[in-house]
Amino acid sequence: MNCTYFAAAAGLWWLTVAPLSAATYLTEEAAVKTAFPDCEKGERTVSRLTPKQRAVTQRTAGDARVPEMLVWYAPKTNGRPAGYAVVGRAAGKHGPITYLLAVGADLKIKTVEIMAHREQRGSGIRRKSWRAQFDGKKPGDPLRLGQDIDALTGATVSSQAVTDGVRRDLACLAALLTPVPEKNTPQAEPPKKDAAPHPESPAAENKGTSTVKWVLGNRYLQEEHKGEKMGTPYEGIGLTGYDNYK
């Protein structure tokens, strides 16, 4: 038992303080191996989210508390990614709770493993029956206590902390792995109907007729044209004259 005391006007008073319970159950390597027993662990990656990725995460998770860094692994089978594992930390009542969020290649949750618990109460969140509620969830699902996740009796604070953390980390991972489109990316303009053909393209063939005759005392030459150009019918007339004063 941890005890402390303080002085008061009437003498000394003793105050009993419950010791803080801190337990580490799994290392990162052991947690990844538990979630992906038949896979290669892959390298530990620390990624910094861009402002756009953080903004996407905030919208998806419905939470402004988005981490700037993400620690994750990409376990592999025969050289191909079998899924992803994120090392997350949730703010408990007395200290952080460390967990591993494991998802498949389709980003559906495989399991949530509790790695370390530093709370005086709430270690029951390690129970498989409670953690199994996350299995199969995907980005965009509510992942909220009281909706699709039930709180654990006697561990409401820890349940809330881990649920919120898993929702944020899943949204972070999805934003990290999905390219964010640029708003101002110029789009290629569709070719104009009357645009000049490419020099290497085959010559286009247009059919038509032309009638030429003398008019106005045989001093003007009149030309009438009818035909199609690039599939559009057209008509035209022209006059070529002689200037007597020149």
Q: What is the pLDDT of residue 53?
A: 95
CA distance 238 to 27: 90
Considering only CA atoms, which of 64, 44, 43 is closest in space to residue 55?
Answer: 64
What are the tokens at 226?
Answer: 């009818």
What are the tokens at 225?
Answer: 């044209």
Q: What is the pLDDT of residue 233?
A: 79
Q: What is the pLDDT of residue 11?
A: 42
Q: Is residue 113 within 8 Å of residue 135, measured between CB atoms?
A: no
Q: Would you write out the chain's pLDDT as a tens digit for each of its 246 residues? A: 444 433 333 343 334 344 445 689 999 999 999 999 999 988 999 999 999 999 999 999 999 889 899 999 999 999 888 999 999 999 888 889 999 999 999 999 999 999 999 877 778 899 999 999 999 999 999 999 999 999 999 899 999 999 999 999 999 999 999 876 655 555 555 555 555 555 666 666 767 777 767 666 666 667 776 777 666 776 777 766 655 555
Say what the pTM is.
0.65
